[in-house]
A and B are shown apart, each in its own frame.
Chain A
């Protein structure tokens, strides 16, 4: 394996209006990934406007000054491309991968919706996409067993007023109340070139991309008063545990244990990433070996632990297990807590550490095996840390984590403010 975590060139530029442009050339396949990170997410939403950043993301596909409604999708797919967008608490990203000869089209489309969305935004479009998003909420959160776990964990982990207190999908009441003027203002406030990073990876030269970026984005005005999200970096420990038990139409008891850890990008979070892998990734993990294979109280396919990669506050660390038939929620919760707590008391062995690092290493190279995977990472590092080249440090940082650091992080993170969410099957009549 190469020594660097990113063995491709990275070139950067900044337009006069503040748009940062990142290019990573790779001629292997005749495809090019275009990716825009806008530094706006649900953490920017004030009370009463939950879900707006995500609903807005939908509106970005519905036409702009020179692009008719539905034409964006049609032009990208009609070029052979794949496209999508996602919103999370931290940011909103838009991306397409196209055959390389359509790079200019993709940049034109992105520029048109960055600079020309508002005149094309209609009440009809808003009403339609509000319905679509409400259906998304039903499909992903309301109509599936345990589907609302994330919606319940966030307010338990983060106090009212914290930017991560509410979930990105938002509440039905807020979505119903959304009005057109708010979205027009949302675009004017946040969708400015100096609040975005444009990344292009694949079959294109940096020189060409910089020139095209200037051609299509260069005349868009910067905005100099973009309001920051509330500061969520520091969440004082309360010393309290939070426990919630939900009776729902679920097939078996399930337990989540969650803690606030450290922000993504910090050395502490690198330790948490390795810790979570030791704890809950794969059949060799502690949770699998102890709960699924050893005591056999948990369903083998449904034990796990992971960090959620959020950068603007202490990111969640979550461990979960689902009961085997005949095992009570209490028994499962005890077993899960015991294995989690032992991270602070039972030292991680060299074999456990090697296993975790090998899995993380392969996972990293898998993520980098496509141009779209690389583009999103470069956009993240440019947006959140000001330098896309920092992407190369991530894997070496994970591989340098020690057992002592894991024990220290466990003692620090797991000692207080534990959140426990339990699902219990409803009594059937």
Chain B
């Protein structure tokens, strides 16, 4: 035999250490930095305490339009000159939005970081926001969303969110808005939102070789001309689960796959069960070997992949399953997915499964936290959720020490198979009768 039959065991583990974190108050704002000695690339990320949650109802997508408008010229230069200045340094202004925060960042060789942060601040703090430009950006964003919404997924996501959280609430509407909400924005919406939220200092996140970075100078550039305090965050929201399952069919005529979005509300990010919930979600649908992917992909061949997770922001969370399945097997796929959620809620997880889940989640901390971008993202988590510098070390311990009872209890408490909203985006004519026949829930509308 030319192969070695015995599987090798692990060697001596070298413990993972999150880089040293530096926190500092400078020029009215906060700096949070991680030291990455010898790293040639650096990341600077300006984190503002305003997320989609602060957008008024009916104005969804406002932050996205503002983010694009930031680059349409500044107090100092027009849009083309700004693009050349930023890209001439070898970087691009990258913006992002979630429910709790807005971020603008640059990834760049460390020797050019200061110049890039000056340009970043120039766009965020002193954008021109010429009305004609804002209107054009708004129209382009509406079209971009219309293009995106032509793909399978966004309509199903919106239907699920509205059903879980109520479309009368901002958090019951799409995080990035929809083509209509964006098209309905006016110039004043954008300029007022900017002056209300984008002139507060926020937090400057830096990941890089701090021996080659002057944090005070970066902060002075990032916080120049700012004022005002942090926003009122609001406490966790009480989101009731439904009584009974329901099916919502989103028609996509001729679709060769059905897009599944199955979900219900779940706890907010600071809930004490965060770690066992994460692990329960991992066993059910978070890893390749999870229950859902194993059954629907590896055994049945219904899909290219299926996943489930708990996601949480400061004020609310949700559990959701996502997949694309072949049209002809839509109904059996939904039945089997609901079956696995039900089984996991009722019977919990096994030690064998949990061992994979906890080792994977813990190991990912050393495997994934390599690049300056990944480290900056981890620092952002610390700031948004008020977590301590040793959070990642503690998280690792918490993951590795979670036992079957804790994780099974989290599954029992936080999975609600009887209250699932089952959104299916597909060829309604081909799948409606089959879905009705499953008797999984009332078919709406």
Contacts and interface: CB of A to CB of B under 8 A. Distances in A.
The answer to whether A binds B is yes
Given A131-B301, A135-B257, A358-B87, A108 B8 contact: yes
Contacts of B366: 29-31, 80, 99
Interface stretch (A176-184, A267-275, A362-370): A362-370
A100 interface: yes
A167 interface: no
Contacts, number: 236
A300 B83 contact: no
B444 interface: no
Contacts of A216: 4
B140 A358 contact: no
**Residue of A1, A75, A351 most packed against chain B (CB within 10 A):** A1
A77 B289 contact: yes
A283 B83 contact: yes
Contacts of A79: 10, 359-360, 363
Interface string B2-20: 1111011111111110000
A99 B363 contact: yes
Contacts of A322: 147
A147 B368 CA distance: 30
B147 A251 contact: yes
Contacts of B111: 1
Interface in A102-122: 102-105, 108, 111-112, 115-116
A1 B304 contact: no
Contacts of B86: 283-284
B34 interface: no
B136 to A, nearest CB: 8
Interface in A213-236: 215-216, 219-221
A100 B16 CA distance: 10
B246 to A, nearest CB: 25
A78 interface: yes
A143 B255 contact: yes
Contact of B83 (A65, A282, A357): A282
A369 B84 contact: no
B367 A299 contact: no
A265 interface: no
Please tell me the size bucket of the interface on A. Answer: 35 or more
A132 interface: yes
B14 A300 contact: no
Interface in B70-129: 71, 79-80, 83-84, 86-92, 107-109, 111
B146 interface: yes
B150 A145 contact: yes
B343 interface: no
B40 interface: yes
B143 interface: yes
B289 to A, nearest CB: 5
B356 A136 contact: no
B90 A102 contact: no
Interface of B: 2-5, 7-16, 38-41, 71, 79-80, 83-84, 86-92, 107-109, 111, 136, 139-140, 143-144, 146-147, 150-152, 254-257, 287-289, 294, 297-299, 301-304, 324-326, 355-356, 359-373
Given A219-B3, A293-B79, 9 more contacts: A30-B13, A99-B366, A143-B256, A284-B87, A302-B144, A324-B143, A355-B87, A358-B88, A366-B373
